[in-house]
């Protein structure tokens, strides 16, 4: 949400902005055990809590199921934050906190984007959700500094960057540039000879690709471009309607069963995408029309039923089918309310600036 508001601000006010989207290969599965302990200890987690959290790290085994039965167990050398474990996102955020403190220790070098509101100038330089990370700067120098720090931290933490999915987008007038990120490799030969820790020289670097402002990136399962386009988002919602909803409507359900299935399953999938997206009212109404064409048959009502009865309250004889525009705005209102709870947070000032 912060990133979308920031992008709108840059587009409308024609400001220079460079966005960096950095991806890790199998992020959760490649965190070394000692990095997990260091991250938790850095945040002040008691030793007893660290011991409890890491109790299974040295004893767990993984098995591969084959046609002849499971193989012998093997102990993974990394993957301290198990994929799918309830506590893993919280633990991975502790690692990202450490990384951000390292990157932004010298804030002047970063040249963060300045979001100007009526009462405050908010410096925005990153948006994170677990391993999904996006960084922003208003200068080329700042973008290069951020990438330098990201590459060095990833190497030190034993994590691997996914260069194929890492990219940057330039908004505004910036001279042609090529951005690269360091990919240091540990010098094992020197360590065996001298016992010193060092990286191989010259240090390996990878060029990261530049995308246009129309390139649609994915964050929290939702697609959007820096210009606000949502072609892929609409395509995903269309897939839910044509596949999931179509499958449900083909079942032999009662009117109440069809409505309950839509509300509890299909609508929840769609709302997860629309509440974080930026689809307009005509676009949502068009999607609602596609939903109606399938849902009316499952509910055994005529296709020509007036919208007032289809969406209306049962007190007035309606069927109370929720409209996508209303439900999306209800979800967005909840997000807005949560964003305005604490005036010390950046999200509060960003939202107030948007309002």
Dihedral sign for Cα atoms in the order 108, 113, 100, 94: positive
Q: Which pLDDT score, from 0 to 100, does residue 56 have?
A: 80
20: which strand partners? 135, 168
> Is a pLDDT exceeding 90 seen at residue 73?
no
> Is a pLDDT exceeding 80 seen at residue 84?
no
> Is a pLDDT exceeding 90 seen at residue 201?
no
Alpha-carbon distance values, 2 to 8, 110, 113, 170, 276 (Å): 10, 18, 12, 18, 11
- For 308-324, write each residue's pLDDT tens digit: 888 888 888 888 889 99
343 token code pair? 């005036």
For residues 281-298, average pLDDT: 90
127: which strand partners? 134
> Is a pLDDT exceeding 90 seen at residue 328?
yes
> Is a pLDDT exceeding 70 seen at residue 221?
no
Instruction: Report the C-alpha gap between 144 and 160 in whole angstroms.
Output: 19
Confidence of residue 271 (pLDDT cuts 50, 70, 90): very high
- For 124-150, write each residue's pLDDT tens digit: 888 887 777 889 998 889 999 999 999
- Predicted TM-score (pTM) of the model is 0.81
């Amino acid at each position: 949400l912060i990133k979308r508001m920031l992008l709108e601000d840059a587009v409308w006010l024609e400001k220079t902005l460079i966005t960096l989207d950095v991806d890790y290969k199998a992020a959760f599965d490649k965190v070394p055990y000692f990095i997990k302990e260091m991250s938790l200890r850095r945040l002040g987690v008691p030793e007893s809590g660290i011991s409890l959290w890491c109790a299974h790290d040295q004893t767990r085994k993984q098995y591969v199921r084959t046609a002849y039965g499971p193989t012998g167990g093997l102990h993974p050398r990394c993957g301290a934050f198990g994929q799918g474990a309830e506590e893993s996102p919280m633990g991975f955020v502790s690692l990202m906190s450490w990384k951000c403190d390292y990157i932004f220790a010298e804030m002047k070098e970063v040249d963060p984007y300045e979001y100007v509101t009526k009462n405050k100038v908010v410096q925005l330089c990153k948006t994170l959700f677990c391993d999904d990370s996006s960084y922003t700067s208003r200068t080329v120098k700042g973008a290069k500094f951020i990438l330098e720090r990201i590459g060095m931290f990833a190497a030190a933490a034993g994590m691997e960057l996914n260069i194929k999915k890492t990219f940057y987008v330039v908004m505004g007038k910036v001279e042609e540039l090529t951005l690269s990120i360091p990919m240091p490799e540990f010098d094992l030969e020197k360590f065996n000879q001298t016992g010193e820790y060092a990286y191989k020289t010259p240090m390996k670097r990878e060029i990261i690709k530049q995308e246009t402002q129309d390139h649609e990136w994915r964050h929290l399962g939702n697609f959007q471009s820096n210009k606000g386009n949502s072609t892929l988002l609409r395509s995903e919602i269309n897939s839910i309607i044509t596949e999931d909803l179509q499958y449900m409507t083909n079942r032999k359900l009662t009117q109440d069963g069809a409505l309950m299935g839509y509300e509890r399953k299909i609508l929840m999938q769609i709302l997860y995408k629309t509440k974080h997206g930026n689809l307009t009212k005509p676009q949502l109404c068009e999607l609602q029309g596609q939903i109606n064409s399938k849902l009316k048959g499952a509910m055994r009502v005529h296709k020509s039923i007036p919208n007032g009865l289809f969406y209306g309250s049962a007190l007035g004889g309606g069927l109370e089918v929720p409209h996508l525009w209303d439900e999306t705005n209800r979800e967005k209102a909840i997000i807005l309310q949560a964003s305005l709870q604490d005036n010390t947070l950046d999200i509060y000032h960003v939202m107030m600036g948007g309002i």
